[in-house]
Amino acid sequence: MRGGGLLVAGTTSDAGKSVVTAGICRWLVRQGLRVAPFKGQNMSLNSFVTRGGAEIGRAQAMQAQAARVEPSALMNPVLLKPGSDRSSQVVLMGRPVGELSARGYHGGRQQALLGTVLECLEELRATHDAVICEGAGSPAEINLRRNDIVNMGIARAARLPVVVVGDIDRGGVFAQFFGTTALLSREDQELVAGYLVNKFRGDVTLLEPGLDMLHGLTGRRTFGVLPYAHGLGIDEEDGLRVSLRGAVRESVVAPPVGEDVLRVAVCAVPLMSNFTDVDALAAEPGVVVRFVDRPEELVDADLVVVPGTRGTVRALAWLRERGLADALVRRAAEGRPVLGVCGGFQVLGERIEDDVESRAGEVEGLGLLPVRVRFAVEKTLARPSGEALGEPVEGYEIHHGVADVRGGEAFLDGCRVGAVWGTHWHGSLEGDGFRRAFLREVARAAGRRFVPAPDTSFGTLREEQLDRLGDLIEEHADTDALLKLIESGPPGGLPFVAPGAP
């Protein structure tokens, strides 16, 4: 097989498209096939830098890891990074090309990118046995269909079969499946092969009569019912979640190796980006991570993280409005640990000069680190490596702010003053040795008898999570039928479901 393909669409955002795409990629690669993920257009503040220096969505980087291939810009040719409710930075083939309003993008610019998207897809199909594409939102967003380049637009142009994923845990999944199909044009419906139920709890036999009725109404089968699985470790596209959700929100935190736990509070700043930086902390036994937006929630925290953000000046104003800025200043004065990453690092400095992102001009920072930041038009995209706390460190950089470090102790590309650390490097805590050394420093400064586990491997945990995704597909989906779709394309003779697109 060469050049097979499948589009994983969803009834809604967060229906589980990323999970299913990653799971199919891992299942296929375990069958000995060369697989690549693809998402023509992605809207996300969580991004990643490839080894070639291209910025793509973190979800596609995770899916590439599931497929055991190196991430590339081909896998996510268009990335939109929201800067407000109405505008986004457009990243094309891994490089920013400007800011556009939602009206300007959907009004014509989007359709102009369809050729680039299809060229990337075809290049991947020419070099892989299968390309598993992820849609965005819902394919039945009829107001956006004319210029669509990520759902039925590419499915029709590339003749891809489509499987629609629905989250049954939210309720209404049968109506979602039927309505999604019935709102598509006849030509689009011809590509929709069937459905995949996600996040089911209970006895699947109770669901089967509904699936039979759905088949009778639409002429389309259901390719599987995936059970609700706690703690699936995937990189979320957006929202206030972290990828190792089980360690953060859903499951009991593993007991500490030492006598104390370590409490980490992450400031939930506006336009928060790459909050996946705290995943590795959440994976450590005895480390409790939570997101906070009130100063009183910092009181019992042993470490406060100010994460990256697409709006540094806006985040700074938010911290001040909420009283969190004063709480951070008090922590620093008391010698209690604070870590700023990327935009969070910039916030901790003395001054920000921004005529690019917010166009606010010169703004006073929190003054916790001897750093002055000037925003440049050119975005820094890099994969740095170095050493800190006696351990090797690797990371990635995505920022417009250029830091002028004027003192303190060197820390990665930033600095440290007392118990306040700052760096532009994302992903540094994924290195096991460095993370343990950093947590020992935090525990010492916080007066906690916390001991990092000696054997936690974040890379191993991530691989285990990806294997769990592959297991979900292998054990609960009709893999023979999915493979036939990928190899042979959309099945013929699928009936039209009225009324179709208006």
The residues that are catalytic are 342, 426
Let me know the angle formed at the C-alpha of 113 by 111 and 119, rounded to the nearest 5 degrees.
125
HSE at residue 120, side-chain half, CA atoms within 13 A, is 25
For residue 85, the tally of other CB atoms under 10 A from its CB is 6
Task: Please state whether beta strands 87-92 and 4-10 pair in parallel, antiparallel, or not at all (unpaired).
Answer: unpaired
**CA distance linking residue 470 with residue 27, whole number of Å:** 5
**CA distance linking residue 398 with residue 425, whole number of Å:** 8
Task: Please state whether beta strands 78-82 and 87-92 pair in parallel, antiparallel, or not at all (unpaired).
Answer: antiparallel
Determine which helix (DSSP H) or strand (DSSP E) holds 88, and give its type and residue range.
strand 87-92
Q: Are 39 and 9 in contact (CB under 8 A)?
A: no
Q: Is the peptide bond before 499 cis (omega within 30 degrees of 0)?
A: yes
Let me know the angle formed at the C-alpha of 473 by 241 and 231, rounded to the nearest 5 degrees.
25
Q: Are 266 and 292 in contact (CB under 8 A)?
A: yes
Q: Tell which residue, 16, 9, 105, 93, has the closest CA to residue 53.
A: 93
**CA distance linking residue 116 with residue 120, whole number of Å:** 6
Q: At what angle do helices 312-322 and 324-333 cross, to 10 degrees?
A: 80
Q: Tell which residue, 302, 314, 247, 311, has the closest CA to residue 276.
A: 247
Burial of 370 (0-12, 13-18, 19+ CB in 10 A): middle
**CA distance linking residue 57 with residue 36, whole number of Å:** 14
Rg of the chain (C-alpha set): 23
